[in-house]
Amino acid sequence: MNANVKDYSPSQHFGRAAALGVSVILAGLLGTSSGAVAQEATGKSFVETFDKLSGSRWFISDGWDNGKHQNCTWSKEQVKVADGNLVLSFEKKPLKNRDYSCGEVQTKERFGYGTYEARMKTGTGSGLNAAFFTYIGPVHKKPHDEIDFEVLTKDPSKVQVNAYVGGKSNDEKLVDVPGGADKGFNDYAFVWEKERLRWYVNGQLVHEVTEPSQLPSNPQKIFFSLWGSGTLSEWMGRFIEPTEPVTMAVDRVAYTAPGEACQFEGSVACSLQ
C-alpha cells in the first residue's frame, strides 16, 4: 500500500493476536532471507533533532485505527513539533468511531541492520503505550518483523523490549528506566545485526538475543506512537480516562548503518566502533 495514500500502523502486543494469523501465513509463504536487509533497505544513516518534521522522511498516521483493541484514532492533529521535540499526544477528542485521538509517525523508508537510537520522555496514564519501534508486515507484502521499546505508562519506571519474527513474539522483557521514563529524557537504543540483537537504556546493555530464529531479517520502518486501549488491561493496565492530554516527546532519533561513523556525540554506535 502506498504510504502517500495511507500507510499501516501495526497493532501492539496482545492486541496483534487477531492479525497474527495472517502474518504467520504470509511469513510461511514469503519466508525470510539473510540477504533481505542488504537487498531492500533504502534508508541511510541520519540524525534528526526535530527543528521541524521532515515531510520527505516522515509519514503521519491519520484517520484510522489498528483494530478493536485500540480506543483512539490516529490523527495528524496529535502530532506536532515544539521546542525542538516531536510531540505525540493522546486525549479525549472523538474522531470517526473512537472517543479518543492519538498520534503516530513512521518513516517512509525502510532500514536494515544498524544502530537505532531515540531520546524521549513520556507522560503517565494507565491503559496507554508510548513506543519507539521498527516494523514491517503483511500490508507491505512482507512477514511481520518488529523490534520494540514500549513504555506502558501505567508504570513508567520500566520499558518493555521485544522482537517479532514472522509474527511471533520473542523473549520479551521488562527492564528498568533509571529515574523513570516520565521524569526526564532517556536514551533508548538497539543494535540490530545478523547474528544478534541488543537493547540499551542510557547507554547500558539491558537485553540481548542471539538465537537465530528470534532475529528479524527484513528491513523495517521506524515508528513513534502513543495510543490507548480499553481492552488490554492485563498488559497495559485498566484504562483511566486522562483529565488532560498525555504526551510523548522525542528529542532526537538516529540511525547508523554498519561501518559508518556514529551520528552524534554519545551515540551507542560510537562506543561500538
**Quick one: the chain helix, strand, coil %, rounded to 5?**
15, 40, 45
Give me the phi and psi of 103, to 5 degrees please.
-120, 145
Q: Which of 48, 104, 117, 146 is catalytic?
A: 146
Distances (CA, A) of 242 to 63, 208, 239: 21, 35, 9
Which of 48, 91, 104, 150 is catalytic? The answer is 150
Residues written for the chain: 273
Phi first, then psi, for residue 77 (nearest 5°) are -70, -15
Beta strands in the chain (DSSP E): 46-48, 58-60, 72-74, 79-82, 85-90, 100-107, 114-122, 128-136, 145-152, 158-165, 168-176, 186-192, 197-201, 204-209, 221-228, 246-256
Write out the E strands in 85-165.
85-90, 100-107, 114-122, 128-136, 145-152, 158-165
Q: Are 130 and 123 in contact (CB under 8 A)?
A: yes
Is 48 labeled as catalytic in the residue annotation?
Answer: no
Question: Active site includes 150?
Answer: yes
Query: Alpha-carbon distance 272 to 3, whole Å?
Result: 34
State the catalytic residues.
146, 150
